[in-house]
Amino acid sequence: MRLAAFRPLILLLSGILGASGVGLAAAASHGEDVRLLGSASTMCLAHAPVLLGLWLAGQRLRTANLAALVLGGGTLLFVGDLLSRHFGHGSLFPMAAPTGGVAMMAGWLLLAIGSMFPERPMHE
């Protein structure tokens, strides 16, 4: 299956992360221990527009779809672990947040690597 088949998922994930980031920011403004909620909100709001940009660039930038999927998955994993810990359920699994963080860094590097290759012609 080609990565282009996942393009609708990238746009969906962008919207979900954006809405989640706003909701988490609101929740963080009303609690006492908001450290993890604030961090989760920041990660969502930082990556939602990036996913939208990668979705828009997906037809031209060779690594856009893969970068978006890796960034989105890493963000979900990182934020999911922060929320699980905030609500007292412990970590999703050992090293979940660091794994998500490494995936986010890998996604950003995939974006950077894509800049080194010629753009795709618009008709592909």
* Residue 119 confidence (pLDDT): 76
Q: Rounded to whole angstroms, how far apart are CA atoms 85 and 102? A: 19
Within a 13 Å sphere around the CA of 14, how many CA atoms are in the beta-carbon half?
16
For the entire predicted model, the pTM comes to 0.90
Q: Residue by residue, what is the 3-state secondary structure of 13-26?
A: HHHHHHHHHHHHHH
Give pLDDT tens digits along the chain (124 positions). Answer: 588 888 999 999 999 999 999 999 999 998 777 889 999 999 999 999 999 999 998 878 889 999 999 999 999 999 999 999 999 999 999 999 999 999 999 999 999 999 898 776 655 4
